[in-house]
Amino acid sequence: MNGDYLIMGVDFNEIEKSLFEGTAKLNFGSLKLYVAYLKENFLQVEREKINNITKFLENDSRKNVQALADSLNKFFVKKENEIIRVKDMYSFDRSFGNYIYLAGVDEVGRGPLAGPIAAASVVLSLKYKEDTDLILGIKDSKKLSPKHREELAEIIKKKAIAYNIALINNNEIDERGISWCNNEVLRRAVKGLKIPPDIALSDGYAVKNLDIHNEFVIKGDAKSASIACASIIAKVYRDNLMKEYSKLYPQYGFDNNAGYGTNEHVNAIKEYGVCKIHRMSFLKNII
């Protein structure tokens, strides 16, 4: 954050100069914009600088400016803790050995009444140089809001060394069974990577018939950076696919339930019957 920066008519160089030299009492609107700018660019700001800025804001007699200081400090503490958490996830992946390429793999859509089962595999650059190389916010995809998942999925795809998404449709699920398809979609996700990994970490269960070294991790999407990233892009991909199916079959509410057996979905099946993407082997107690 060196050099001149001017946003919305506010010269932040002048704000910093006034804060550190005490040359003028700055208006609240300008300070609020400056604090927002610091938050947006938190990875480029040194902690010592934030501490100094916070002290100057705290010493201001205005309550609303003091509240800005409290907000700024809490924000940076939260972000620092997030960096530590994500670094631990990267370190967890590195703990499996000095592999060149490690893939995390996870599936979504084992339980729905309709649609495919999906899996993603992701190879990350685990030996990052700067905190800016980390993908902050990654965790079990189910614990993220849809908006945050979408944003993270794009970041993951840009920062990953490689990623792949595999699908198995409802017809194959009916023909082969969900257990076989669950394993097979994970296997395909890993085998479809453009860069063959040296090891694959899977969430919960080992992947059978995978001809590379595989380690399974219980609650892996909370421990492994690579598995968490795979969980996120798999869910985003499948959810978006089900939204597209909802345009063809609007009566089932696929855009809201993603094919899972909600009351709305079950009642729609009873009223309208099934469509081409329903898993007939899952509907024996419904129709």
Rg (CA), the chain: 24
Which segments within the chain are labelled E, that is strand?
Answer: 6-7, 10-11, 102-108, 117-123, 162-168, 199-203, 213-217
Closest CA to 34 of 72, 73, 60, 2: 72
112's CB contacts (< 8 A; 6+ apart) are 258, 259, 260, 261, 279, 282
Amino acid at 133: D
Which residues does the annotation place in the binding site? Answer: 106-107, 203
Q: Which SS3 state, helix, strand or coil, does residue 213 take?
A: strand
Which residues does the annotation place in the binding site for a divalent metal cation? Answer: 106-107, 203
Query: What are the DSSP calls for 141-168, one per residue?
Result: GGGS-HHHHHHHHHHHHHH-SEEEEEEE
Closest CA to 185 of 197, 194, 198, 173: 173
Closest CA to 57 of 32, 40, 82: 32
Asked if residues 157 and 236 have their Cβ atoms less than 8 Å apart, the reply is no
| Dihedral sign, Cα of residue 22, residue 27, residue 28, residue 33 | negative
